[in-house]
Amino acid sequence: MRSSLTRLLPPKSTDSGRCCCTVLVDLLDRCRSPASLRTVGSLHARLLLSGGGGGGGGEQPALLVKLIRAYAACGDLCRARLLFDSVPGPLKNTVFFNVMIRSYVSHRRPRDALRLLSSMSPGPDHYTYPCALKACSDAADLPAGRQLHAAVARLGLDANLFVANALITMYARCGRSDRAFQVFAEMPRRDVVSWNAIIAGFARERRFDRSIAACREMAALRGPAPDAGTLASVLPAMADAAPADIGLVRDLFDEMPAKGPIAWNAMIAIYSNNSMAKEAVGLFARMETAGPEPDALTLASVLPACGQLSAFGLGKRIHEIIKRKGMRPNMVLENALMDMYANCGCLADARDVFDGMRVRDVVSWTSIISAYGTHGRGKEAIALFEKMRESGVEPDSIAFVSLLAACSHAGLLEEGRRYFRSMTNKYRIVPRIEHYACMVDLLGRAGCIEEAYAFITKMPIRPNDRVWGALLGACRVHSNMEIGLLAADELFRLVPEQSGYYVLLSNIYARAGRWEEVTSVRSVMADKGIKKVPGCSNVELGSKVHTFHVGDQSHLQSKMIYRKLDVLLGRMKELGYVAATESALHDVEEEDKESHLTVHSEKLAIAFVLINTGRETPVRITMNLRICGDCHHFAKLVSTIAEREIIIKDTNRFHHIENGVCSCRDYW
DNA sequence: TTAGGGTTAG
């Protein structure tokens, strides 16, 4: 770079001053990274020798401005400031101040920017204010922002598009989206940046409805067309979004001409964040064939979708892309990669990524703790938590959710109690509802149902359905009818539409052989129009994810799958297998219940993998519900009969099954 | 000149 630039330099003795100046300006403009710092230095020296850039007078101000900007762009703010200070007063116009203030802002030194602003003479102009307002938002300095707003209004500059847009962002980033909206509403003219700024402003304050409404309004009006930035701005507001809203952004995406990586990345992230993993992965595939080159952000956005689908093959291929493109170290990307492996049931691969990381933050540690926890390896999760503390990373609220859940999965009762107490005593983290739910789960599944119930009654916050749900689940495991009914009562009041809790209650009755009550639960469901969520299982074969629903006959290999199931069940019965009919919801004849159970989606998925792969390939299945007792038993037997490793991810944890033994040790 | 995209739990 340096040598080519030097070669481009005009001869010193040129008599064409203007031409020389143009070339120099051009060269300086190209110096934008620390690697060009030496080039800037030599150009500066050249100017000094020709008497053009020493600050001693007689310089061309335009060249000096470019030189200051080039030093700043290369990261040498000190030299930029020295040069700035050396410019004689009469020569130091607004442009010099604007360039220096901008340099501070772009190097995240908003305080220096504001200090310089206050000493500015001549006064700021419409180029200064947008940048100064950005400094206020970076410094989260609302009073300073308000002062600037007043000054702007006095000058009548609030009608300037750039100034008004910057005001919107300043107010929004200082937590005043109401004021931001006021500025937006009063603007005589708005461009795409104004809209994006207000959409992002509402999203930032978690006023998701207003953010999406603004996006919708923008799309409906015949004003500026939404662009990639619009998608990026609305993205944080699109967590658990309504299908219609996701449809809206998809339409915007489709209508966008010449889509760049930002639009693709935002759309993929929106799908990922809304558990629409198949759509996210599908869009990524389209991007690979017909879109721009995926970057680190693309990959970090699609990896959670791979985890959701247990698309291990795709996840591994993305890992290869990361290696090939030399994208590491990149902590966010590595966190996503580690989590993908963990969610695909590959704990060892997740650990490899974790071990290879140069820098780890609380997200990295939480991910690996959670990975060990959901795989039933609670003691190791605890050891990692302690290692995290030794390494100087402080746990946050989410880290404790993972840790307590890990204790719960492994039945580590005392450890869980101790860590829960330490949250308040030692770490000054106020337990949230999620932590209480973990504790109820821990106590309940360890068999301390009475204690779990007493714990709920003493909670300082109102228990929600997750808390009561954990208790009801424990009552099913330990067949506690009395407290189970209390929990169910609360649940039917809190979330009368959620079918899962009716199913749990009916399982409790079925286990006790009280079929009359099972029938009455069923009729309550029918009366209220509540349908059981149909079970479904995903399984990856080659590069395709296959989805099976309960009783599915739509698969091309359906006949073979059912034949395989028959063979497996026959072998199992020889080994003494009896269907665990209390797992079935309906009070029907024993034989019917059994046939209902045999078509659970996870059984179909297991048979499908057995047909299509060899013994060395583990069966990896991801479900949308908790695995039922019968399927769990079935999987353990298959692992013996077919000599296969089976890894099932249900909505609660992993079941790593080998030689008839499950990593959950039947504790789930 | 102004806005805007990634990772962690249950």
pLDDT digits (tens, 9 = 90+) for A494-526: 988 888 888 888 888 888 888 888 888 888 888
pLDDT at residue A644 in the model = 94
The secondary structure of residue A652, as a DSSP letter, is S
A332 touches strand B (CB under 7 A): yes
Q: Which nucleotide is nearest to A162 (CA to C1')?
A: B2
Which nucleotide comes closest to A342 if you measure CA to C1'?
A: B8
What is the rounded average pLDDT for all residues in chain A?
Answer: 88
Q: What is the pLDDT of residue A48?
A: 76
Separation of CA A260 and C1' B10 in angstroms? 35
What's the CA A101/C1' B1 distance, rounded, in angstroms?
Answer: 12
Would the Cβ of A331 be found within 7 angstroms of any atom in strand B?
A: yes
Low-confidence ranges of chain A (pLDDT < 50): 1-19, 56-58, 586-592
CA of A533 to C1' of B5 (A): 34
User: Within 10 Å of residue A360's Cβ, how many Cβ atoms?
Assistant: 18
In angstroms, the CA of A399 and the C1' of B9 are apart by 8
Angle at A244 between CA A220 and CA A293, to 5 degrees: 85
Residues 49-108 (A) near nucleic chain B, CB < 7 A: 102, 105
Which residues are registered as beta bridge partners of A661? Answer: A658
**Residue A517 CB in 7 A reach of strand B:** no
Residue A650 beta carbon within 7 A of nucleic strand B: no
CA distances from A282 to A256, A266, A267, A345, A444 (A): 18, 14, 11, 22, 41
Please name the residue whose C-alpha is nearest to the C1' of nucleotide B4: A229
Give the orientation angle of helix A362-374 with respect to helix A378-390, to 10 degrees.
170
Q: From the CA of A522, how many Å to the C1' of B8?
A: 39
Burial readout A612-626 (b: 16 or more C-beta within 10 A, e: otherwise): eeeeeebbbbbbbbb
Cβ–Cβ contacts within 10 Å for residue A583, how many? 21
Q: Which nucleotide's C1' sits nearest to the alpha carbon of A651?
A: B10
Distance A123 CA to B3 C1' (A): 26
Largest CA distance in chain A: 105
Question: Does any strand B atom come closer than 7 Å to the Cβ of A261?
Answer: yes
Cis check: omega of the bond before A329, within 30 degrees of 0: yes
- List the A215 CA – B8 C1' distance (angstroms): 29
From the list A428, A425, A473, the residue with the least C-alpha distance to A449 is: A473
Answer for A27: CB within 7 Å of strand B.
Answer: no
Tokens linked to A165: 């847009």
Tell me the C-alpha distance between A509 and A513, whole Å: 6
- What is residue A57's predicted lDDT score, i.e. its pLDDT? 44
- pLDDT of the residue at A14: 44
A159 touches strand B (CB under 7 A): no
Please report the pLDDT score of residue A582 as a whole number.
60
A510 CA → B3 C1’, Å: 58
Could you tell me the domains of chain A?
432-528 (1.25.40), 537-662 (no CATH)
Over A51-113, what HEC string results?
CCCCCCCCCCHHHHHHHHHHHHHCCCHHHHHHHHHHCCHHHCCHHHHHHHHHHHHHCCCHHHH
The distance in angstroms from the start CA to the end CA of chain A is 62
Nucleic chain B contacts, protein chain A, residues 348-377, CB cut-off 7 A: 361-364, 366-367, 370, 373-374
Protein-covered nucleotides on strand B (Cβ within 7 A):
1-10
Question: Is nucleic acid strand B under 7 Å from A594's C-beta?
Answer: no
The total number of residues written for chain A in this structure: 668
- Say what angle helices A261-273 and A277-290 make with each other, to 10 degrees: 160
Residue whose tokens read 């506690």: A480
Q: How far apart are CA A343 and CA A537, in angstroms?
A: 15
Burial of A374 (0-12, 13-18, 19+ CB in 10 A): buried
Dihedral angle, C-alpha A484, A487, A493, A496, nearest 10 °:
-60
d(CA A601, CA A534): 9
